[in-house]
Structure 1
Amino acid sequence: MLDEATRDRALGAILGSATGDALGAPCEFQPPLPSDDAVVMRAGGAFDWELGEWTDDTSMAVPILRALADGRELADESTLDLLVATWAQWASGAKDVGNQIRAVLGSLESPTAEAARAAARTIHDQAGRSGGNGSLMRTGPVALAFLGGGQEERLVHAARAISDLTHFDAETGDACVLWSLAIRHAIRTGEIDVHRGIRHVPFERRETWLARFDEAERLMPWQFPQNGWVVHALQASWSAIAHAETLERRLVLAVRCGNDTDTVAAIAGALAGAAAGASSIPDAWRRELHGWSGPGEVATAAHLEAWVERATAYAV
């Protein structure tokens, strides 16, 4: 069983991501926010989000969390089938679905993992690229299944397997591996180390990723404007974390990035929350959280907490 501090950090990875998502939602598709504009939990935005409502980032992460809460093995094909079927049902009526994910889920011959991987490959081949941020945005829960010792290799496999369901581009899988391993380490220790997973990236791309982390530490989040691309999304998220000390400030910096604000803040929130813990999230933000969690279902922070408790019940 996890001790109290570690449980708080595990919950922080989930609530931190959902909070960043809801904070950034009303600012999506807008220019970077100036420093004198307050970042607050509010309604509105391009899709008329309710106060505290999370977007596609958290809606796609919730089925992963619920699968863990039900005791499923994430990398099993039956679990991957379930995720694809749930996402496809969600996407058919969602307010907002990213272009690449909509293309994959909308072209499925059947709602299975095999069909999703085939669709992701076809879309990549047709466009010549498929490096969107849509798999990184939902990777927060994956680490919860692998908090025990000696679990890094299994986490790497699961992170790539879930990313591959919608994103064929190799760098999207890299990003999910690096971020998931950093989240795992933060939950286990309370420390943030984005470099510790670099050995799990193919050798020929390691120096590129290290240079990207270094660049993010020099520049501010809004200096990575193409943040619909997984690389700029990760860099903007890491920049927000590297340039602030508290969870609240890190989320504010992430939201200020402009463009895909909800996704950058969700990505940053998963790692920042894993280090700081759910207890660091302001109550005024946490109590408003809610959003899609299944067909005809709406969840709140309390539901997320219950699923995290079940998902980590046997972690050591």
Structure 2
Amino acid sequence: MAEQHIVGCILGTAVGDAIGLPYEGISRNRVNKLIGEHLKHRLVFGYGMISDDTEHTVMVAQSLLEANRDTEIFQARLAKRLRYWFLALPAGIGFATLRAIIRLWLGFQPKNSGVYSAGNGPAMRSAILGTAITDLEQLKLFVKASTLITHTDPKAEYGALAVALAAFYVSNNSRCTAEGYFQLLNEHLPVEAKELFLLIKNAISSVKNRETTQEFAVSLSLSKGVTGYIYHTVPVAIHAWLSHSGNFEAAVTSVVRCGGDTDTVAAIVGGIVGAAVGKAGIPEKWLDGICDWPISINKIEEVAGQLSSKKESSKPAKISFFFSMLRNIVFMMVILVHGLRRLLPPY
């Protein structure tokens, strides 16, 4: 069962990321015109590619493999991977993450490299922590270690923890309820996170009132799209998960239709719901539609399989730096062409 959750979480993150990427930064109204009746891959001739959301999740999984339950080793390995990931010329890197990685290259220790930001970067890579770590106290330490490398605003950690706890909850309970998740948050979110706690409480009330995720986003003044601010991203993602806990396609579609930071929000939702439903619950058409390399679907499953086997301090599957750089150059050209496409209707 552990393998099912871990594989589903990473694949779900990748699919949510790839399916949401073409709509990133577009308003809700225009996104819905572009999607039409059914959401599908549309980045490159009907196929999709992954972005930093998936890459960070894979790096976290690789670092967990080497950590032997030691947060300092985990943090050091993840920081090293982030440094070399940056050298491979990734497109669309977040500003806070960019500054933090530059600080790492300047010699700052991972525990001191983060910058004061409440962006959603830490949340996009935290679902896999909740799926792979079975001890809640240990989970909180690993979420903190992952967050501080790039973000030091406590809100970033609280949001990442809320996502990790959601993934933990679905991975360890066959029957999940909003009340059960809320109780878990109440027990493990610090009192300082009361603003996030209230936002998620409002999300749960909205779900009970059968409001759509788009309607909930509008209630947060996000009518034009969900922003990268973690207290916008996380409540919307939690709302989508609780509204469609067993339906991967519906959950991801609901957040993409909100517009804004569609790839990251969909990646977070995909990671949580994917952990619940496993690979079998992810639409085959969306899995088959990802055309990427060297982080391919097969490579993702290989890393997930290693992590689920719980062979501590084992050597993770290698991802070629050289081929990653070549891929990123191609990816940047694809994004440029796609950006030019946005100048055309429908508006």
TM-score tier by shorter-chain length is: 0.7 to 0.9
Distance in 1 (alpha carbons) for counterparts of 2:72 and 2:231: 28
Deviations 1:144-163 (A, max 9, x none): 4423xxx1101111111111
Distance in 2 (alpha carbons) for counterparts of 1:164 and 1:75: 16
Aligned to 1:89, what secondary structure does the other structure show? helix
Say whether residues 1:89 and 2:84 are aligned partners.
yes
| Among 112, 121, 125, the residue aligned to 1:134 | 121
Q: Provide the residue aligned with 2:322 in structure 1.
A: none
Residue-pair matches, total: 288
- TM-score (norm. length: structure 1): 0.83
Distance in 1 (alpha carbons) for counterparts of 2:69 and 2:127: 13
Structure 2 unmatched ranges of 5 or more: 312-347
Letter in structure 2 aligned against 1:118? N
Say whether residues 1:178 and 2:156 are aligned partners.
no
Distance in 2 (alpha carbons) for counterparts of 1:15 and 1:139: 14
Q: Provide the residue aligned with 2:243 in structure 1.
A: 243
Distance in 2 (alpha carbons) for counterparts of 1:24 and 1:74: 33
Distance in 2 (alpha carbons) for counterparts of 1:209 and 1:58: 25
Show the 5 A alignment for 1:28-107: 28-32=24-28, 33-34=31-32, 37=36, 38-43=38-43, 51-68=47-64, 70-73=65-68, 75-92=70-87, 93-107=89-103
| Among 301, 306, 313, the residue aligned to 1:310 | 306
- 8 A contact 1:23–1:52 mirrored in 2: yes
Distance in 2 (alpha carbons) for counterparts of 1:142 and 1:291: 24
Deviation at 1:289, TM superposition (A): 3.0
Show the 5 A alignment for 1:273-312: 273-289=274-290, 291=292, 298-312=294-308
- 8 A contact 1:160–1:173 mirrored in 2: yes
Deviation at 1:13, TM superposition (A): 1.2
Q: Provide the residue aligned with 2:197 in structure 1.
A: 210
Aligned to 2:151, what secondary structure does the other structure show? coil
Distance in 2 (alpha carbons) for counterparts of 1:119 and 1:67: 18
Deviation at 1:77, TM superposition (A): 2.0
Say whether residues 1:158 and 2:145 are aligned partners.
no
Distance in 1 (alpha carbons) for counterparts of 2:9 and 2:250: 16
Distance in 2 (alpha carbons) for counterparts of 1:190 and 1:164: 32
In structure 2, relative to structure 1, the CA distance for the partners of 1:230 and 1:73 (3 Å cut) is farther
- 8 A contact 1:59–1:291 mirrored in 2: no
- 8 A contact 2:75–2:110 mirrored in 1: no
Distance in 1 (alpha carbons) for counterparts of 2:60 and 2:81: 10
Letter in structure 2 aligned against 1:31? S
In structure 2, relative to structure 1, the CA distance for the partners of 1:76 and 1:117 (3 Å cut) is closer
Between structures 1 and 2, the one with greater helix share:
2
Distance in 2 (alpha carbons) for counterparts of 1:191 and 1:269: 18
Distance in 2 (alpha carbons) for counterparts of 1:80 and 1:169: 17
Letter in structure 1 aligned against 2:32? P
Distance in 1 (alpha carbons) for counterparts of 2:106 and 2:3: 38
Say whether residues 1:201 and 2:189 are aligned partners.
yes
Letter in structure 1 aligned against 2:190? P
Between 1:254-263 and 1:302-311, the stretch displaced more is 302-311
Structure 1 unmatched ranges of 5 or more: 125-129, 293-297
Distance in 2 (alpha carbons) for counterparts of 1:29 and 1:137: 17
Distance in 2 (alpha carbons) for counterparts of 1:51 and 1:275: 25
Deviation at 1:10, TM superposition (A): 2.4
Letter in structure 2 aligned against 1:303? K
- 8 A contact 2:5–2:171 mirrored in 1: yes
Deviation at 1:75, TM superposition (A): 4.3
Q: Provide the residue aligned with 1:232 in structure 2.
A: 232
Q: CA RMSD in A?
A: 2.4
Deviation at 1:98, TM superposition (A): 0.8
In structure 2, relative to structure 1, the CA distance for the partners of 1:235 and 1:83 (3 Å cut) is same
In structure 2, relative to structure 1, the CA distance for the partners of 1:135 and 1:241 (3 Å cut) is same
Distance in 2 (alpha carbons) for counterparts of 1:191 and 1:19: 24
Distance in 2 (alpha carbons) for counterparts of 1:50 and 1:109: 38
Deviations 1:40-96 (A, max 9, x none): 01215xxxx99321111111111111223x442364323312211211221231112
In structure 2, relative to structure 1, the CA distance for the partners of 1:50 and 1:62 (3 Å cut) is farther
Q: Provide the residue aligned with 1:143 in structure 2.
A: 130
Letter in structure 1 aligned against 2:141? H
Instruction: Calculate percent identity across the aligned residue pairs.
Output: 24
> Which structure has the bigger radius of gyration?
2
Between 1:152-161 and 1:184-193, the stretch displaced more is 184-193
- 8 A contact 2:113–2:148 mirrored in 1: no
Distance in 2 (alpha carbons) for counterparts of 1:101 and 1:74: 25
